[in-house]
Structure 1
Amino acid sequence: MSRGELFDPLYGGDRVAARLDDTAWVRALLAVEAALSRAAAAHGVVGDEQAARIEQAAAGLKIDPAELGRAAVEGGNPVIPLVRLLRAAAGEAGTSVHPGATSQDIMDTGLVLLVRSATEVVLDDLRGAADAAAALAAAHRDTPMIARTLGQQALPTTFGAVAAGWCAGLDRARGRLAEVTAALPVQFGGAAGTLAALHPHGFAVADGVADLLGLARQDVPWHTERTRIGELAAALGIAAGACAKPATDVVLLAATELGEVSESAPGDSSSMPHKRNPIAAITARAAARRAPGLVATLLAAMDHEHQRAAGAWHAEWETLTDLLRATGGAAARLRVSLAGLQVHPDAMAADLALTAAGATGPHHAGEIVDRILAGRPGPGQAGP
């Protein structure tokens, strides 16, 4: 997965990428450590003054991600050297840093924070793309066009029915992604997932961390029980697929031989000035096509050994953030495509007349539009 100033804007991933960069990772990990200190203090595990000093140290700690990355090589994750730096910065309170936790607690909870932040952008663009599709459906409820099955002319439909179908898929995918993301919990289990180091306060501290960070509470530690990550991967993959469908249709309908739609800001060619490429839809497809492989990697990495995985856990971090970039990029570029999509009813009528298939009317297509638009979630609602 490419990332950076050259390719992120092209694939639409720049807004999501800004919430997933190395600095965001460091901020998330420090936020978890600060919340852990405060939650531990609330149950007498550490002193209130110590927790305040740790929180202050975390807020003021300046960390070079490149240096932290080099320091992380020895232990296999960045939390180990980060804790050393935070302990040094906290002075006498340093002995109270990271109470009862293991590195995976901080990494997993930090990752959940990043997912929540990045998914806000993805959900916004999915909603924007769905709203644009809904507007097209309403405006062209009765605009006749030919439906195509197996690449051939079939029976009449309306462009409104086509766009309403796009809208339904995007709304459904958005709703599922919102549901899965909201349910992602804090992770706190200690060295072997038993909360032994903070007995009898382990679950109370875990709940306190969740509340402070605005995350769902865990039922039990999930160090090597990765169904949540699998569900998230699947939801992101489905959302990418929901974006790929209308993007593919736009590319096909914008072909010179059809000319039934066009983007408001088509891309040009370096060698063929006559071309008007539907580039937003094209790059939405490009971003979405990266998603299935990333989903497969995350699903294949669910077989965590015993109480701490040796490699499968480590494979999740960049794979999941790359998947967020891919799905976010697909949603962002599709939103641009659909928001400015120009519909050409004359071309649709001409294509409709090419075969006898267009002789009958598009019966019930308008009812499909009405049914889909009436069932859409309102503002602030996740999905159907």
Structure 2
Amino acid sequence: MSASPFDSALYRGLFGDAEMARLVSDTAEVRAMMLVLGALASVQGKAGVIPEVSGAFLARAMMEVQVDPAGLAESTGANGVSVPGLVAALRRALEAPEHAAWLHFGATSQDIQDTGLMLRLARALALIEGRLVAAAGALGRLAEAEADTPVAARTYGQVAVPSSFGAQVAVWGWPVIRAIERLRDLRPRLPVSLSGAGGTGSMLGPDPAAIRVGLAEALGLADPGRSWHAERSLIAELAGVCTAVTTAGAKAGEDLLILTRSDVGEVRLAGGGASSTMPQKENPVAPSVLVALARFAAAQGAALSPASREARDGAGWFTEWLVLPQLVVAAGKSAAVLGEVLGAIAPDRSAMAARLGEPLGLIHAEALSFALARAMPRSEAQAAVKRLAGEAKRTGRALPDLVAETHPDLTLPPLTGPETLGAAPDDARSFASAARAIADGQG
């Protein structure tokens, strides 16, 4: 098995995501750092920190020069960071020492690498958000279409009370909306990093803050107003958002693993996976992927810490390199798979109705106990119905019949029809409305 199934030739059909992979590739990282170096030189040139002609030359050159990431491997291994090797390679490639001398002036490696990371994250998070918005729209449409479809709600793996399938879909959808809201809050706050070697910006010129603001404007990123070399709360927040995305997918995945079981069969999925030996199998591969990605993301996120040692922390930084790319790809893949799953869902209403209409009528025990509570204390009513439920299981007689016989003066509640679903249809439609709003950018 490859060290990372996300880019494994064998497993990429299961976990791979070509769009996300491009954003976390070595080529994308080098290109992003070059854009940062070029933008920094341009801003510094306009501010008079370096010769303006050199700033303009470097900004243009960083758009044109090509650097092979593989050629930086030895330097990165020796230095523990890729920027020194990159800057040296760029200066050689430029063949203009009078300008190249001003490249990376006053900044430190972490400034360039972290800002390049933010550029790539801005695109990655936008991609994830777009996928989640599409999934929320699909969930909203499904919830609305199935708002009045009766289905058995389950608690602790047991049939509990009547609900609606649309309301269950809404329960899958609300975490998706929350994840979208968190992404929309985080994306505008992705910051540049420009603090110099020790976080003081002392070599960036007479007004380091102005250079930082200019760099943020040039790159379309936020100005953090400070050094965040050793304060990694934003990275921890990013990990939390990625984990929330995968967790949202896992809720639908977990429930679909139950609803598609052979002995439940209330939902069918188009395009299930095949078994190597059992021809009848249609395995719920996509829901399993959703659950696995959430478990993976939770474990990965736990490795990151918002606290860093001293002015900069190499070990903490290295840990981010190991964890963040896979976390971001996991979130992107989860959002994509969720959208695919929703397009493959086919509810089996007859199977849902059969579950609700099981002969013993035990699903109505709660409603019957509350009806009986009008004639006796609540605790006694619950005990009475519990006793009769046991008798129903022993004798095979329906619980509603036993309650009616034991309490002939009791007016039984409706056991079929919309009244049995409570607020479930309204909950489904409320979510559908919220999903439409989030898709319109109003949520």
2:426 to 367, 370, 377: 367
Distance (whole Å) between structure 2 residues aligned to residue 54 and residue 86 of structure 1: 10
1:349 to 343, 350, 353: 353
Matched, 1:186 2:192: yes
Distance (whole Å) between structure 1 residues aligned to residue 145 and residue 429 of structure 2: 12
In the alignment, residue 106 of structure 1 is paired with which amino acid? I
Q: CA deviation at 1:157?
A: 0.4
Q: Contact 2:290/2:337 (CA < 8 Å) preserved in 1?
A: yes
Matched, 1:379 2:428: no
Q: Deviations over 1:15-37 (max 9, x none)?
A: 21121111111111111101101
Distance (whole Å) between structure 1 residues aligned to residue 127 and residue 90 of structure 2: 31
Q: CA deviation at 1:12?
A: 5.0
Matched, 1:93 2:152: no
- Report the 3-state secondary structure (helix = DSSP H, G, I; strand = E; otherwise coil) of the residue aligned with 1:271: coil
Q: Contact 2:230/2:311 (CA < 8 Å) preserved in 1?
A: yes
**Number of residue pairs aligned between Structure 1 and Structure 2:** 381
What's the TM-score once normalised by structure 1's chain length?
0.95
Q: Contact 1:268/1:276 (CA < 8 Å) preserved in 2?
A: yes
1:21 to 21, 25, 42: 25
1:38–1:380 Cα change, 3 Å: farther
Q: Contact 1:8/1:17 (CA < 8 Å) preserved in 2?
A: no
Q: Which residue of 1 aligns with 2:214?
A: 208
Matched, 1:331 2:335: yes
Distance (whole Å) between structure 1 residues aligned to residue 11 and residue 120 of structure 2: 21
Distance (whole Å) between structure 2 residues aligned to residue 83 and residue 52 of structure 1: 17
Distance (whole Å) between structure 1 residues aligned to residue 184 and residue 283 of structure 2: 33
- Report the 3-state secondary structure (helix = DSSP H, G, I; strand = E; otherwise coil) of the residue aligned with 1:18: helix
Q: Contact 1:12/1:333 (CA < 8 Å) preserved in 2?
A: no
Matched, 1:134 2:140: yes
Q: Which residue of 1 aligns with 2:167?
A: 161
- Report the 3-state secondary structure (helix = DSSP H, G, I; strand = E; otherwise coil) of the residue aligned with 1:298: coil
In the alignment, residue 260 of structure 2 is paired with which amino acid? A
- Larger CA deviation: 368-377 vs 73-82: 368-377
1:54 to 53, 58, 65: 58
- Larger CA deviation: 284-293 vs 153-162: 284-293
Q: How does 1:126-275 map to 2 (within 5 A)?
A: 126-275=132-281
Q: Which residue of 1 aligns with 2:403?
A: none
Q: Which residue of 2 aligns with 1:119?
A: 125
Q: CA deviation at 1:380?
A: 5.0
Distance (whole Å) between structure 1 residues aligned to residue 429 and residue 439 of structure 2: 18
In the alignment, residue 13 of structure 1 is paired with which amino acid? D
Distance (whole Å) between structure 1 residues aligned to residue 422 and residue 344 of structure 2: 28
For structure 2, list consecutive stretches of 5 or more residues without a partner in the other structure: 365-414
1:19–1:203 Cα change, 3 Å: same
Q: Deviations over 1:164-215 (max 9, x none)?
A: 1211110111110221132111100011111111242211111111111111
Q: CA deviation at 1:87?
A: 2.0
RMSD: 1.6
Q: Contact 1:102/1:190 (CA < 8 Å) preserved in 2?
A: yes
Q: Which residue of 2 aligns with 1:45?
A: 49
Distance (whole Å) between structure 2 residues aligned to residue 219 and residue 62 of structure 1: 33
1:212–1:8 Cα change, 3 Å: farther
Q: How does 1:251-330 map to 2 (within 5 A)?
A: 251-299=257-305, 302-330=306-334
Q: Deviations over 1:268-315 (max 9, x none)?
A: 11211101112221212222221011110113xx33111111311121
Q: Deviations over 1:137-182 (max 9, x none)?
A: 0110100000000000000000000111211110111110221132
Q: Contact 1:11/1:333 (CA < 8 Å) preserved in 2?
A: no
Higher-Rg structure is 2
Q: Contact 2:143/2:170 (CA < 8 Å) preserved in 1?
A: yes
Q: Contact 2:199/2:311 (CA < 8 Å) preserved in 1?
A: yes
- Report the 3-state secondary structure (helix = DSSP H, G, I; strand = E; otherwise coil) of the residue aligned with 1:225: coil
- Report the 3-state secondary structure (helix = DSSP H, G, I; strand = E; otherwise coil) of the residue aligned with 1:262: strand
Distance (whole Å) between structure 1 residues aligned to residue 57 and residue 12 of structure 2: 39
In the alignment, residue 69 of structure 2 is paired with which amino acid? P
Q: Contact 2:45/2:56 (CA < 8 Å) preserved in 1?
A: no
In the alignment, residue 112 of structure 1 is paired with which amino acid? M
Q: Contact 2:67/2:90 (CA < 8 Å) preserved in 1?
A: no
- Report the 3-state secondary structure (helix = DSSP H, G, I; strand = E; otherwise coil) of the residue aligned with 2:6: coil
- Report the 3-state secondary structure (helix = DSSP H, G, I; strand = E; otherwise coil) of the residue aligned with 1:155: strand
For structure 1, list consecutive stretches of 5 or more residues without a partner in the other structure: none
Distance (whole Å) between structure 2 residues aligned to residue 115 and residue 14 of structure 1: 15
Distance (whole Å) between structure 2 residues aligned to residue 166 and residue 259 of structure 1: 18
Q: CA deviation at 1:85?
A: 1.4
Q: Which residue of 1 aligns with 2:6?
A: 3
In the alignment, residue 318 of structure 2 is paired with which amino acid? H
- Larger CA deviation: 148-157 vs 1-10: 1-10
Q: Which residue of 2 aligns with 1:31?
A: 35
Q: Contact 1:28/1:110 (CA < 8 Å) preserved in 2?
A: yes
Q: Contact 1:105/1:190 (CA < 8 Å) preserved in 2?
A: yes
Distance (whole Å) between structure 1 residues aligned to residue 287 and residue 164 of structure 2: 21
